[in-house]
Amino acid sequence: MTHSGEPGARTQVDSEGYRIYSVVWLWLLILTLLELGAVLVHVPRGLLVFLLLTMALMKAALIIAYFMHLRYERLSLVYAVVTPMFFLAIVIFAFMGPDALSVMHLR
């Protein structure tokens, strides 16, 4: 959209630009409430883990795409950001995973 010389034109373009952030924020809120509901309903542990991980990945994708502005970037830049995060998650799990799993044997 181009800005015209009209006094209200700039406000209209700005409000349309910020609308997407409100929509994304609303979806993040909905996903958070769904996570909370899944925990409070006491679903089976395997299903709970699957649901929480899925919703966390959905929230991460929304944040990466809109708040980090990667939705509008070239795919190679997205790969340059997402690939190291993926490998970092593997390394973190490799070092923290055994300790986290050993806690289950303490009960």
pLDDT tens digits along 92-104: 888 887 777 777 7
Regarding pTM above 0.85, the answer is no
Q: What is the DSSP letter of 8?
A: T
Domain that holds residue 47: 1-71
Cβ neighbours around 37 below 10 Å, total? 11
The answer on 57 and 13 residing in a single domain is: yes
The answer on 48 and 2 residing in a single domain is: yes
Instruction: Please give the single-letter amino acid code of residue 40.
Output: L
The two structure tokens encoding residue 64: 């990466």
Q: What is the largest CA-CA distance in the chain?
A: 70
Domain count, the chain: 2
The two structure tokens encoding residue 89: 């998650």
pLDDT tens-place values along the chain, 107 residues long: 445 555 555 555 556 678 888 999 999 999 999 999 999 998 898 899 899 999 999 998 888 888 877 777 777 777 787 788 889 888 888 888 777 777 777 76
Query: Is-contact 52 38, C-beta < 8 A?
Result: yes
What was the pLDDT predicted at 82?
Answer: 79
The answer on 20 and 48 residing in a single domain is: yes
- Quick one: which of 75, 51, 73, 59 has its CA closest to 24? 59
